[in-house]
A and B are shown apart, each in its own frame.
Chain A
């Protein structure tokens, strides 16, 4: 079956620390993958998307970066976290008519 996995579920990190969030999909090949962020009081915002290995497009300038080292793996990273990076991070891929989202990572930067 086609599934999407995201981890960790929750994360508390100090300001200035690095970040690595991982997303993997199963049961498909060459998917388009997306990272969204949901901040309090705001709608979901697209951060990055990838149409293939090594291909990353950024939608908004920010403190974060993304990489796609393997076909079904999408990683969100930061070298030094800011307080404003706090939020709910969601990985997604296109499955059928709609985007399918992972279970999300709640990141709190303290």
Chain B
């Protein structure tokens, strides 16, 4: 059975304190790994898609990387506005569904 596990469940950082969020996955036939940001009471907002091991993508203070077993979302010098829940999802096999992890709740304090 496909599994997606995100860690930590919650992370508190001071502004400027860089860190990484982890998404480990067990799937057959990975087609894509997705990162989303979700603010309270809102729908997830698309950040990145990674397709193969070794791939990296960047957007402002965020950088996503992918290996054969896990993905990292690196946050460099975070700001309070980066506070949100970050969701990881995988698409595998021939199905349409995205299999989501439970997310990491990030709080960045001034």
Q: Which residues of A contact B (CB under 8 A)?
A: 6, 32, 34, 41-46, 49, 57, 59, 90, 92, 97-104, 106
Contact = CB atoms under 8 A, between A and B. Distances in A.
B interface majority secondary structure: strand
5 contacts: A43-B101, A43-B103, A46-B98, A97-B32, A98-B49
B49 to A, nearest CB: 4
Interface of B: 4, 32, 34, 36, 41-49, 87, 89, 96-103
Given A90-B43, A104-B42, A43 B100 contact: yes
Contacts, number: 52
Contact of A99 (B41, B48, B98, B101): B98
B96 A49 contact: yes
Contacts of B101: 43
